[in-house]
Amino acid sequence: MERTLIIIKPDAVQRQLIGRIITRFEEKGLQIIASRFMHITRDLAAQHYAVHKGKPFYDSLLNYITSGPVLVLVLQAPGVIAMARKLMGKTFGNEAEPGTIRGDFGASRGFNLIHGSDSPEAAQYEIGLYFNDNELVNYHLANEHWLYGDN
């Protein structure tokens, strides 16, 4: 099983899209194994987005992610990173395809509703920023066989 970190960002929270976004992941068959509703501190945001330090958008990115509450999730499934990123769509809502989270709910270049890890290494690092191992709840879905087959 692969894991990914998802952050439902302040604009999605303020627009009351949490349920609709989670529904997309669950309907796809992605398993939620952790969640936390929180305010991200500037220090935590700096750690999370350290790879972007020095880029022109870095400060506005930190201001945005710390501007209001977020819902942080860990999703699990075979190939979850690629599936979650396809469900999210291109980074900016004004470029994302209809049928994706950003394509259906986003129109801004500055606010993009959601974050998802882009690699297994990033997922491991990001999950560790928000959750301890004992906060990840491992369990089997009753329909796992029908979702993932015998792989």
Give the active site residues. Answer: 115
Our CA angle for 116, 147, 144, nearest 5°, is 100
Instruction: At 11, list the tokens.
Output: 């604009």
Determine whether 138 is exposed, middle or buried from the number of CB atoms within 10 Å of its CB (0-12, 13-18, 19+).
exposed
Helices 18-28/80-88 angle, 10° precision? 140
109-126 residues labelled b (16+ CB within 10 A) or e (exposed)? eebbbbbbbeeeebbebb
DSSP, res 51: G
